[in-house]
Amino acid sequence: MQSHIILQSLNLLFIDDDIHVKRDAYSLFSPMFKSVILAHDVSSAMHYYNTSQIDIIIIDIQLSDEDGLTFIDKIREENYDIPIIVLSALSERKHLLRAANLRVDGYFIKPLPFKELNPIFERIGQQLEHKLSIYHIAENIRYCFLTCSLIIDLKLTSLGKKERLLLELFLHNAGRLVTRNTIANSIWPQTYMTDSALKNLLCELRKKIKYDIIKNVPAQGWVLTTDYTKKGMNQQHQIN
């Protein structure tokens, strides 16, 4: 899978106390990531880290309340794998050595060096693909359980909550029969599931997947299979 597709399913935490740098970073990185969260100091950065799903961190060394390397040290105490990139106006040897000891993925001198960052992002994307619980449904279809991202033909496809739950139910039972009762108990545990609600949900999920991987087993249920054909625009699916 191409690395930029992986990055588009990840959340970036960008930490810098310069409002102009943050503005430029948001414009630069927003098209590349699922979301870009901006923090102006270590305190706010730690808040976002503890309350949000953060997948990659880019941080300046010189911050208003504490230096960025101290923040990285705190993160590394509990998370040794999250990719971290340092941006700084400082190039002193002591900072470079300390950053290296904290296992940062890159150390760059400001201003934002996009051409130099791009290969780092490519490498990070390749590394994270093996850690994101990515299910290879078929040649052109991937699903990431960690970020709840469906990737079809190298493009992200948005899913509603029930669509996501239904797809994950099929994935956990890939190749096995999923009955109507199983779907009802998993997707509508507290309410009654009507036939029309189930029909609409299956129809919408199949439309978004585009490939015919959810097979109907008459009077029994459905099976997710990798033996698929791409669906025609007018093909209809019946629920028995």
Q: Angle at which helices 68-78 and 93-101 pack, to 10 degrees?
A: 10
Strand order in the sheet with 221-224: 178-179, 221-224, 214-217
Three-state SS annotation for the chain: CCHHHHHCCCEEEEECCCHHHHHHHHHHHCCCCCEEEEECCHHHHHHHHHHCCCCEEEEECCCCCCCHHHHHHHHHHHCCCCCEEEEECCCCHHHHHHHHHCCCCEEEECCCCHHHHHHHHHHHHHHHHCCCCEEEEECCEEEECCCCEEEECCEEECCCHHHHHHHHHHHHCCCCCEEHHHHHHHHCCCCCCCHHHHHHHHHHHHHHHCECCEEEECCCEEEECCCCCECCCCCCCCCC
**In the prediction, which pLDDT does 103 show?**
86
- Residue 131 has a pLDDT of 63
Give dist(CA 191, CA 110) in Å, integer: 55
Q: Look at the alpha carbons of 80, 117, 48, 35 in this order and tell me if their dihedral is positive or negative.
A: negative
Domain 3-129 has CATH 3.40.50.2300: yes
Chain centroid offset of residue 81 CA: 16
Q: Supply the pLDDT for residue 231.
A: 47
Question: What's the pLDDT at 237?
Answer: 38
CB 29 within 8 A of CB 23: no
Residue found by looking up tokens 């028995």 in the block = 240
Which residue matches tokens 């990055």?
A: 7
- Ordered by start, the domain boundaries in the chain are 3-129, 137-224
What's the CA gap between 102 and 85, in Å, rounded?
11
Using 50 as the pLDDT threshold, list the residues of the chain that sit under it.
1, 229-240
With a CB cutoff of 8 Å and minimum separation 6, the contacts of 65 are 41, 42, 43
Which own/partner pairs from 26-29 qualify as long-range (CB within 8 Å, at least 24 positions apart)?
A: 28/112, 28/114, 29/58
Class of domain 137-224 (CATH, top level): mainly alpha
**pTM confidence score:** 0.59
